[in-house]
């Protein structure tokens, strides 16, 4: 079983090619501050290193967010395109899960709150319990003020972990290799309708709606 995994909920994107639960190729690339899109070339490089043709992929997994609007949109578009081309399912995976599952070195057993920046002084947070046998989701994904993160962590008797926390860990595509063994595989998405979970409106849309006094609609 060949799985191609992509994750881009922050300003660093990652790609993993996974064969029967074992990571056989990895790539990382900047998602911001560059002059050209680099995630697709990273996908091509990882597949070439693993000796896998794009049409030989058995399934695609994509970090679904929440997180950076632009980065998630790029990763989601690439994931959908590859899944359609290979006629294979696309499985959206929580980017907060990919913090604790993709940590390298592996986080020790315990309770953690995975945290990602939501901008405007807020964070996205989700509690997880980790043992040698399972990664268990202990809460829903929550948007809260950063000032309230400490209380949220205390409520769950958990330690915050994330790109901007004292325990620094970023979401990574290699965490998909834990699915099926330590955490369940999420259901496949409907390719015609699936979009990443951005968590909240893009900053540009918020500013537009504030300036015009109405919601931005499309279509």
The domain total for the chain is 2
What pLDDT does 217 receive?
Answer: 53
Domain span including residue 49: 2-96+172-212
- Indicate whether 202 and 127 sit together in one domain: no
Q: Name the pLDDT band for 219 (thresholds 50, 70, 90).
A: very low
Let me know whether 42 and 129 are in one domain. no
Residue 136 shares a structural domain with residue 61: no
**In this structure, are 82 and 29 located in the same domain?**
yes
∠ CA 80-82-88, nearest 5°, is: 85
Kindly state whether residues 50 and 111 are assigned to the same domain: no
Q: What is the predicted pLDDT for the residue at 199?
A: 86
Domain shared by 16 and 68, yes or no: yes
User: Considering the entire predicted model, what is its pTM?
Assistant: 0.89
Residues 85 and 129 in one domain: no
Mean pLDDT of the chain: 91
In whole angstroms, give the CA distance from residue 191 to residue 81. 9
- Which CATH number goes with the domain that contains 49? 3.30.420.40
Q: What is the DSSP letter of 47?
A: H
> Is 140:131 a contact under the CB 8 Å cutoff?
no
Higher pLDDT, 208 or 13: 13
Residues 7 and 76 in one domain: yes
Do 158 and 183 fall within a single domain?
A: no
């Amino acid at each position: 079983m060949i799985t191609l995994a992509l994750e881009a909920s922050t300003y660093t994107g990652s790609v993993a090619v996974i064969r029967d639960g074992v990571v056989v190729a990895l790539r990382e690339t900047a998602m911001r501050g560059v002059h050209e899109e680099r995630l697709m070339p990273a996908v091509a490089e990882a597949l070439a290193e693993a000796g896998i043709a794009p049409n030989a992929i058995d399934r695609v997994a994509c970090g679904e967010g929440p997180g950076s609007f632009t980065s998630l949109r790029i990763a989601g578009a690439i994931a959908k395109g590859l899944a359609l081309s290979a006629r294979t399912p696309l499985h959206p995976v929580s980017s907060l899960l990919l913090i604790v599952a993709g940590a390298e070195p592996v986080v020790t057993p315990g309770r953690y709150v995975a945290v990602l920046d939501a901008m405007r002084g807020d964070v996205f947070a989700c509690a997880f319990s980790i043992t040698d046998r399972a990664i268990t989701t202990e809460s829903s994904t929550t948007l809260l003020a950063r000032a309230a993160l400490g209380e949220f962590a205390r409520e769950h008797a958990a330690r915050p972990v994330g790109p901007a926390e004292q325990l620094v860990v970023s979401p990574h595509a290699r965490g998909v290799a834990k699915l099926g063994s330590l955490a369940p595989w999420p259901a496949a998405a409907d390719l015609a309708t699936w979009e990443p979970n951005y968590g909240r409106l893009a900053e540009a849309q918020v500013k537009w709606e504030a300036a015009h006094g109405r919601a931005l609609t499309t279509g």
